[in-house]
Structure 1
């Protein structure tokens, strides 16, 4: 019976779990995976059983699942499965597969590339392969190129093949006129187009229609474009510090003139923001991992 008694408020529960109270609220609001009782003041009270469930979900998230995938596993009565053993087994398999894919890419072995990709997609979730595995393999490719271990041709071949595979997957997702719409806007030719492609994949998998309008031209041009598309979300991608101030000015304009528009900012330049700028624009910063993306969207959009 003690496990069913509410004893932890949200701050205490969040401290035990190692997450922010806002994250916990967002998970409950979005997924309803637990139902904490309320005290006389209306504050949430979490039981030992709630903490146990939440710890398991966070463990799955730390293993590479999204929170929605973790909750799906829980709903399918897989809470008692041996996560440690499974993670170890998949981890060993994953390292070998990534090494094989890297080797096949730099040797231009198209048939072997397809074989290892098919194995990856049959072993891991699509998101795991596209967002996690592909990123790590391309990071190794990039490091090898910088160190002079591979040629520019090997690098370009690897990058173009993986991008093409992701693009094919994106186009395989169905379209629906009732989907939310997202506009992608690039502020620099040196923006992270691979990172943008990954976020494009992430949004399409969640039923968001993505429209890439390319480089920013002018406020007037953008306003006319938004009036045609009527998007729910705009993602501004940056690649260079010199464009940061112009992008931040654009965000202020969009916030003022398009109050129903959700605005996101993704950029390698975010780390160079002044502390006051980063604090002011923190609601727009999407993050770099799939769980950061999921939390950012969950708190701002209804799917």
Structure 2
């Protein structure tokens, strides 16, 4: 007899947040789970297999819509294989591979390395243990003159594309608490904030990501329009800290009901309510605080 799993159990089996699973079902019709007498979703083994295959393709960088279409077609043709889920202890590539790709503008190495990282690890592990450390390595190589500005931009753009795919794949999380994430005016290093935004969205929060160099008046306008539960401002460099201090003071004064955090390497210098240094831990903390309201 086919097993039956709740959405929480399927989330644990596939590594995909429950909110994302519901979004994939609603938007892409990749599965059609049964309903219990109490209207709870009940997934069968085949449903879990389809969702695991879709999750694997999304982790490799495929848009969720394309991954769902491929799963549907392969199922119709009887070409069903269940991907091996990533193991927590599986070794990841050397972070210096990203430096080599940046130095030589090697698209093949860059693509293969990112594919390998995202297929071997959950998104959260990939971010914490590889993507951010590897980007730091590229930055240090640029300081030493080993990598050009163009080379750094070459790899950053590729990482940005993968993060954008992951952000969209996490679903809309409509009805969940809203959190606005972005950088202060003049701040341009957005990849860390984007990693955090994806992690937070994967925790089931409705995230509005504003990106880099957001003027003070635009922050205020966004909070007035969206009326979010929280805002997180990234502080990636020391020069951003005083700007964030003033920005947080302005936002909390005008919007006392909005919880405002500062995150990033130099958040502790901003005199704002700080978050853990790890983007994964920071996202978990923010999601826990917002979902318990």
Map residues 5-84 of structure 1 onto 2, 5 A cutoff: none
Give SS of 2:159's match. helix
Aligned pair partner of 1:172 in 164, 169, 172? 169
Give SS of 1:260's match. coil
Aligned pair partner of 2:286 in 268, 274, 297? 297
CA distance in 1, matches of 2:120, 2:266: 36
Shift of 1:265: 0.9
Structure 1's unaligned 5+ residue stretches are: 1-85
Aligned pair partner of 1:260 in 257, 261, 274? 257
CA RMSD of aligned residues (A): 3.0
Map residues 150-299 of structure 1 onto 2, 5 A cutoff: 150-213=147-210, 215-218=214-217, 222-238=219-235, 244-245=241-242, 247-272=244-269, 277=271, 281=272, 284-290=273-279, 292-294=281-283, 296-297=285-286
| Contact kept in structure 2, 1:236 and 1:266, CA below 8 Å | yes
Q: 1:200 to 1:269 in 2, by over 3 A?
A: same
Query: How many residue pairs get matched?
Result: 204
> Do structure 1's residue 114 and structure 2's residue 111 form an aligned pair?
yes
CA distance in 2, matches of 1:222, 1:187: 9
Match of 2:67 in 1: none
Offset from partner CA, 1:248-290 (integer Å, 9 cap, x none): 35434544553432211125544546xxx5xxx4xx2012214
Offset from partner CA, 1:37-81 (integer Å, 9 cap, x none): xxxxxxxxxxxxxxxxxxxxxxxxxxxxxxxxxxxxxxxxxxxxx
Bigger relative contact order, structure 1 or 2, given CA contacts below 8 A and separation 6+?
A: 2
Structure 2's unaligned 5+ residue stretches are: 1-87
Q: 1:175 to 1:113 in 2, by over 3 A?
A: same
| Contact kept in structure 1, 2:183 and 2:193, CA below 8 Å | no
CA distance in 2, matches of 1:97, 1:246: 36
CA distance in 2, matches of 1:107, 1:196: 27
Q: TM-score, with normalisation over the residues of structure 1? A: 0.57
Q: 1:232 to 1:114 in 2, by over 3 A?
A: same
Shift of 1:101: 4.1
Higher-helix-fraction structure:
1
Q: 1:199 to 1:224 in 2, by over 3 A?
A: same
| Contact kept in structure 2, 1:191 and 1:238, CA below 8 Å | no
Shift of 1:182: 1.4
Give SS of 1:215's match. coil
Give SS of 1:264's match. strand
| Contact kept in structure 1, 2:193 and 2:264, CA below 8 Å | no
Shift of 1:293: 0.7
CA distance in 2, matches of 1:114, 1:290: 24
Give SS of 1:300's match. helix
Shift of 1:157: 0.6
Offset from partner CA, 1:205-224 (integer Å, 9 cap, x none): 11222223451333xx6444
Deviates more, 1:158-167 or 1:251-260: 251-260
Q: 1:170 to 1:294 in 2, by over 3 A?
A: closer
| Contact kept in structure 2, 1:192 and 1:237, CA below 8 Å | no
Match of 1:131 in 2: 128
**Higher Cα Rg: structure 1 or 2?**
1
CA distance in 2, matches of 1:110, 1:167: 18
